[in-house]
Structure 1
Amino acid sequence: MGSLSLVIWSFFALLCPILNSSNEVVASSRGGPFRLAETEVAIGAAQAGICASAVTIHGYRCQEFNVRTDDGYILSAQRIPEGLAGGGGSSRPPVLLQHGVLVDGMTWLLNSPQQSLAMILADRGFDVWIANIRGTRYSRRHVTLDPSKPEFWNWTWDDLVMHDLPALLDFVFQQTGQKIHYVGHSMGTLMALATFSERKQIDKVKSAALLSPIAFLSHMTTALGVVAAKAFVGEITTLFGLSEFNPKGDAVASLLKALCAQPGVDCYDLLTALTGKNCCLNASTVELFLKNEPQSTSTKNLVHLAQTAQHTLKSGCFSCPRWKAH
């Protein structure tokens, strides 16, 4: 429970996507035509990642795919085409699961099959697809850019809306020939709301279930959350000199220590300091998550999210006015 990496993951997974049931639509300022992603191919069994480690071990069929975005990132995607009882086929409705910030597609598979949404949906008759955005462990590839270089990390959630989500939705639509049920969590809801608010991709989506949707952040009251948001708005890239934000790195640990030293911030019980009391976390759950999460993102992405948090803390709403990270 006292792990620095757990706290950083918890903070940004919970600070940026504060739980809210609002129907407010999120707007985003983007421009330029969308270009279809190039043809993607299935990955061989020897290269399997999430499938081999979290799905097939439970007896489910699973396929690994590469999905190339129109700006050259190569995203990992998984498909569970049927449940344990079989019955796969074209009649099964496709559902795309999109994770949030600082985690990857493994987040849908960390519990038992009876408690993991991906396998629950497969057993209930869905053709399940799992997305992994750029920068996460299985999506650290690009046609020309190297993840060890700053250029690979020059993006924010606005780019995920413009490039990653369209590529993933297009690919699933092309593979299945059906409209897609979309399930997003946290930043995955932000990606969807920003896209749908501009009436993009809606011809490929049948429904959307948004978990912890990002619309308002004015309910965020914890001292540590507010201090951390201000720290990132203060252009933390200049403090770290980092383009990749690695939650397990020394720089992030130093950041947390600095935040916890701020007046009014009590980090003795870090999770409670960030989120309030949580009924559903215990030692075994935390240990399981730390074996797989958190994942890297771009520091620029967190700056953008923190700017969003500061903006909504002042104005009360996310979507007024439209604006973009500097």
Structure 2
Amino acid sequence: MANSFSILLLVALLCVSAARTKPQSIGNVDGGICKSLVETQGYPCQEHKVTTEDGYILGLQRIPAGKSAGNETAAKLPVLLHHGILMDASAWLLNSPDKALAFILADNGFDVWLANSRGTVSSRGHKTLTPLYPAYWDWSWDQLAAYDLPALFAYVNNQTGQKLHYVGHSLGTLTALAAFSQEKLLNLLRSAALLTPIAYLGQMSSLFIRILMDLFLSEKLKLLGLHEVPNGETQELVEFICKTPGVDCSDLLATITGPNCCLSSASKAALFKNFPQSTATKNMIHLSQMVRMGTLEMYDYGNEDTNMEHYKQPTPPVYNMANIPKDVPLFLSYGGRDALSDVNDVGLLLDNLKDHDKDKLVVEYIEDYAHMDFIMSVNANQLVYDPLLAFFKLH
């Protein structure tokens, strides 16, 4: 009971803090991720901007070569990496170069591109809106699949003249799967590696997130005018709580994501320097609908008339995972201790892929891995990235 109360109190504090927070500065700080996290490790890095069809301006970092390789990129195959919710491209740079996927890919001869979702520090621009306006935050992961990913894929393809490999983590897998199920992006795709794949969330075991999702469904949040969550002061609150005697942030992370097996103290410190990043309240509500209903559908506006306006049908359209073409090369890696991408939910996804071409589907199960191990574990380079590299080289 005490543990449940403390979690509920923390979530309530996060929500109150976010509601009181002033919006972050608009747009990307020039060279932010490149200068602070890539060039400091001795790698070349470029900052790019990508504009989506609906007007969002996304930050995109490029690592065109490894530390010791030349800067020639013509023969290098591009790889686009996309992070999960409340994170940004720094998610791929939290460990030392021999253990962080972005650097490992660069050192293995790939042209590495790091995406940042709309609303994160690198991607707060828009052609006509600013984050001060509620309209800026009128999106869920539907729009990430419909606009962000197509814009990013097209930009990388235009810059390199090549089809690309894709790596997603958490929400970065959901948006890709949704797009693939509608047969989008496939003309520009070589293969996709999905780490902690999320399609279904109905059996998610994280009590922290279940309570959080229930709170985000509350109509009171709309009355508060809370469109962006979390925000600047929320990070300060998390840091403050982490310094409170008796509070172990590694345990807090385990409470949220599952008991990760192999995170270093340095990677956890790096994580909390860049976490949490902002997302739209509407996005959180959409995810909460998936948790509560166990469905994989577009955003539900809550009444048939509004759904009719948006979808021309009274209920949201379904993303059918069985519609993913059977010859799309897919690498799926998931963990037995993951409290977000639950093994039973992954099982539902795999059921939908049961007719996939056997030589185009690689499924890896790591029993003692939880959600963050796949991007932060000190041994992910051996357990996850070596098989991933072998998969890419086949395609």
Partners of 1:240 and 1:251 within 8 A in 2: no
CA contact (8 A) 1:97 1:183 kept: yes
- CA shift, 1:183, in A, is 0.3
Task: State the Cα distance separating 1:284 from its structure 2 match.
Answer: 3.6
Deviation at 1:232, TM superposition (A): 2.2
Match of 1:280 in 2: 262
Q: Is the 8 A contact 2:62 2:112 kept in 1?
A: yes
Distance 1:272 1:227 in 2: 15
What are the within-5 Å matches in structure 2 for residues 125-144 of structure 1?
A: 125-144=109-128
Secondary structure (helix, strand or coil) at the match of 1:138 reads helix
- 1:57 alignment partner in structure 2: 40
User: How far did residue 93 of structure 1 move?
Assistant: 0.5
**Aligned counterpart, 1:305:** 287
> Which residue, 164, 170, 177 being the options, matches 1:180?
164
Contact 1:237 1:300 in 2 (8 A): no
Could you report, residue by residue, the CA deviation over 1:270-306 in whole angstroms, capped at 9, with x for unpaired residues?
Answer: 4443344332245443222111221011111111111
Match for 1:309: what amino acid? V
In structure 2, distance between residues paired with 1:239 and 1:280: 42
Structure 1 unpaired stretches of 5+? 12-45, 258-266, 313-317
Which structure has the highest helix share of the two? 2
Higher relative contact order (CA 8 A, sep 6+): 1
Is the alpha carbon distance of 1:224 and 1:181 closer, same or farther for their aligned partners in structure 2, counting shifts above 3 Å? same
* Residues 60-79 of structure 1 mapped to structure 2, 5 A cutoff: 60-79=43-62
Cα separation, 2, equivalents of 1:92 and 1:250: 40
Q: Is the 8 A contact 1:108 1:116 kept in 2?
A: yes
Which one-letter code corresponds to 1:293 in the other structure? F
Supply the AA of the counterpart residue of 1:324.
Y
TM-aligned CA distance change 1:281 to 1:236, over 3 Å: farther
Q: How high is the TM-score relative to the length of structure 2?
A: 0.62
Looking at structure 1, the residues matched to 265 and 68 of structure 2 have their Cα atoms a distance apart, in angstroms, of: 33
The letter for the 2-side match of 1:189 is T
RMSD in angstroms over aligned alpha carbons?
2.8
Give the distance between the partners of 1:106 and 1:95, measured in 2 at CA: 16
Name the counterpart of 1:296.
278
Q: Distance in 2 between matches of 1:166 and 1:68?
A: 10
Question: Could you tell me which of 181, 184, 192 is aligned with 2:176?
Answer: 192
Paired residue secondary structure (1:145) = coil
Structure 1 SS opposite 2:200: coil
Q: Give secondary structure in 1 for the equivalent of 2:123.
A: coil
Aligned-pair identity (%): 48
Measured against aligned partners, the alpha-carbon deviations of 1:202-254 in whole angstroms (never above 9, x if no partner) come to: 00000000011112324323433333222223346326421110255359979
1:55–1:62 Cα contact (<8 Å) kept: yes
What CA distance in whole angstroms lies between the structure 2 residues aligned with 1:272 and 1:63? 34
Distance in 2 (alpha carbons) for counterparts of 1:201 and 1:243: 29
* Residues matched between the structures, number: 267
2:190 aligns to what? Answer: 206
TM-score, length of structure 1 as denominator length:
0.75
